[in-house]
Amino acid sequence: MSRNQHSHRVGRFSRPVVWRRRMNRWPVLLIALALLAACTMGQATPVLAPTPTTPSAPGLKEVLADPGRYLGQEVTVEGVLQAEGSGVQDHFLLGGADGSRLEVSPWAPLEVVHPPDGGPAPPTMQTYVGRPLRLTGTLEKRGEGFLLVVSRVEELE
């Protein structure tokens, strides 16, 4: 047999077999691409999607002007932390620039706690007194007033 006859023969290493194997992959790739396109149809790409605008957080004054409106909801307010009382009996309030004040729950220890491993003590509530803060929490009714049960704290500069 001549060399040309062997090249057309279907064998283990002949060119037509390799070509046929590659051609057999195309339908699988096309089906996979079609399925991928069908799965993503109707979904917006996060990069191209416009950023939704969120309403601005109410100020401390707005929350205190109509606390019933925010009762049971998560709110974020800014102000300077103040303490009233002495020692463990302290009540903590977030004070606004206009003199408005909202009682807030403690989120840090009330007294210095010395860790058993000898590491640094965590900050106490007194550490935050006099500092400007952004507090996020749920507004709850407490006696005659309202209490912000703090879930997140950010120090402002």
Q: Break the chain into its structural domains and give their ranges.
A: 3-40, 60-155
30 pLDDT more than 70: no
CB proximity list for 16: less than 8 A, separation 6 or greater: 8, 10
For residue 155, which of 121, 117, 129, 137 has the smallest C-alpha distance?
129
Residue with the two structure tokens 């396109």: 37
- Average pLDDT value for residue range 108-136: 88
Residue with the two structure tokens 């283990």: 12
Residue 89: half-sphere exposure toward Cβ, Cα within 13 Å: 2
The model's pLDDT over 54-83, given as tens digits with 9 standing for 90+, comes to 445 678 999 999 999 999 999 999 999 999
- Average pLDDT value for residue range 25-37: 63
155 pLDDT more than 70: yes
8-22, 26-40, 86-100, 124-138, range with the lowest pLDDT: 8-22
131 pLDDT more than 70: yes
pLDDT at position 116 is: 81
Q: Assess contact for 81 and 126: CB atoms under 8 A.
A: no
- Average pLDDT value for residue range 41-52: 40
94 pLDDT more than 60: yes
**60-155 domain in CATH 2.40.50.140?**
yes
